[in-house]
Amino acid sequence: MQIFCIQNKFFNFPSNMSVETSKLLIKKLPCDMDELAQLIRECKLITPRSLSSYGSRRAVIEYADAGQARKALEELNGLNDILDKPLCVSPFGPRVAHDGSRANKCTQTKPPPSESTATAKKEIRKQLGLIDTIYVEGARPDPANDPEESLNEADITAPANAVPIKTKKSRKSKLLAMQPYTYAISVDFEATCWEKQAPPQWRESEIIEFPAVLVNLKTGKVEAEFHTYVMPLESPRLSNYCTELTGIQQKTVEAGVPLQTALNLFCEWLRNELRVRNLVLPKTNKSNILGNCAFVTWTDWDFGICLAKECTRKRIRKPACFNQWIDARAIYREWYKYRPCNFADALSHVDLAFEGRAHSGIDDAKNLGALICKMVRDGALFSITKDLTPYQQLNSGF
């Protein structure tokens, strides 16, 4: 039995009232809307139709039907075991009695008394100045009087893994506001290669160019760059094919640094750039597991194959930060519903032109940064697509 008191008068909600609604209300929200959207997406919960702010530290989540809402309520309550601050989630909507009658949000839910008793009590309430209606906590004001929170279902269309926020802004603005990452580090290694491949003992690629570009996804600007050439040790002589493809000369790599040194230099650069901007990589901070900055590559080759295999062969301790990244090609294919035949085709399809020299690592990284900024402007949401340590909550070391 729920009891509400207004001006020293008690009103009872019968315990046989149940809730049939497709909406849930989260009160005392322990995070902002962006983080709530990330939580739903990363934990692979039921995807709601919409997610909207509802006053201070409150949010309303709408699902396709009441069945989904009930399942989602169980899922959200189940997260309390792993969250530092539990979610206070409850159904949001009209109350329905078992007999099928609906209890209006703004009417007294106490069973109606007899006519004579009702007349007498009405007169008493009038004399005492008591009100005739109560408002159930969570009742929503008329959307027509609240343009900032007005709903427009026609505007809310998003990919399957997106959780739109209802505001009066355009669809792109809504999705941009939900973008989990504010910065990205685009990386594109260049490595030793041979035309039509080489004999098996010479087929192991070694990194010869190590570029990284820090891009502000909100402004689309490159804010920092890291670039060094790496000396190959297993195949110290570059093939003619490799030089023609990448433009990297033999004397350039001979003046380069070993891979271990390149990694040390990069990590020093990265720590400084993250620190001055208050950025966090995924799985490096317990209070922000997802982070607000992530590595982005075109395919999984750079980190998943090239760097991983070379570090294993040379017994180099690979920094743990390279264990999580975003494959921009995977996001691109899903968002644009188009499978580009190569990187240049991907740029052309979204009306971008490649700037610089193709297969120059630093130019490729810059163009990748431009592409992901374009994707963000178009509404694509980025999330980690590859994690080499999925069962490890935090990376062990930088």
| pLDDT tens digit sequence for 339-394 | 999 999 999 999 999 999 999 999 999 999 999 999 999 999 999 999 999 888 89
Tell me which of 62, 190, 209, 273 is the catalytic residue.
190
pLDDT of residue 337: 94
Query: Token pair of 100, please?
Result: 């099928």
Q: Is the pLDDT of residue 160 over 90?
A: no
Q: Is the pLDDT of residue 196 over 70?
A: yes
Looking at the chain, the domain(s) classified CATH 3.30.70.330 span 22-92+141-173
**What does the pLDDT average to over 162-186?**
61
Q: Is the pLDDT of residue 252 over 50?
A: yes
Q: Which residues of 204-227 are buried (b: 16+ CB within 10 A; e: fewer)?
A: bbbbbbbbbbbbbbeeeebebebe
Confidence of residue 199 (pLDDT cuts 50, 70, 90): low
pLDDT of residue 17: 40
**For the whole model, what pTM was predicted?**
0.58
pLDDT of residue 93: 73
Tell me if residue 206 is catalytic.
no
What value, to the nearest 5°, has the Cα angle with vertex 68 and ends 62 and 74? 100
Query: Token pair of 313, please?
Result: 């062969």
Confidence of residue 48 (pLDDT cuts 50, 70, 90): confident
pLDDT digits 0-9 by tens, 115-148 = 555 565 555 554 444 333 332 333 333 333 333 3
Confidence of residue 12 (pLDDT cuts 50, 70, 90): very low
Burial of 358 (0-12, 13-18, 19+ CB in 10 A): middle
Burial of 339 (0-12, 13-18, 19+ CB in 10 A): exposed
Gap between the Cα atoms of 350 and 377, Å rounded:
11
pLDDT of residue 29: 79
pLDDT digits 0-9 by tens, 85-102 = 778 888 987 544 445 555
Asked whether 186 and 215 are in contact (CB, 8 A), the reply is yes
**What does the pLDDT average to over 140-158?**
35
113 or 8, greater pLDDT: 113
Gap between the Cα atoms of 59 and 36, Å rounded:
9
Q: Is the pLDDT of residue 321 over 70?
A: yes
Gap between the Cα atoms of 193 and 142, Å rounded:
65
Confidence of residue 46 (pLDDT cuts 50, 70, 90): confident
Mean pLDDT of the chain: 78
Asked whether 133 and 107 are in contact (CB, 8 A), the reply is yes
Looking at the chain, the domain(s) classified CATH 3.30.420.10 span 183-387
Q: What is the CA radius of gyration of the chain?
A: 29
pLDDT of residue 134: 30
Tell me if residue 98 is catalytic.
no
Tell me which of 209, 273, 310, 359 is the catalytic residue.
359
CATH: 3.30.420.10, 3.40.630.30, 3.30.56.10, 1.10.443.10. Which one for 183-387? 3.30.420.10
Of 49, 53, 45, 137, the C-alpha closest to 91 is: 137
pLDDT digits 0-9 by tens, 287-297 = 888 999 999 99
Question: Which positions ≥6 away from 126 have C-beta within 8 Å?
Answer: none
Q: Which fold is adopted by the domain 22-92+141-173?
A: Alpha-Beta Plaits (3.30.70)
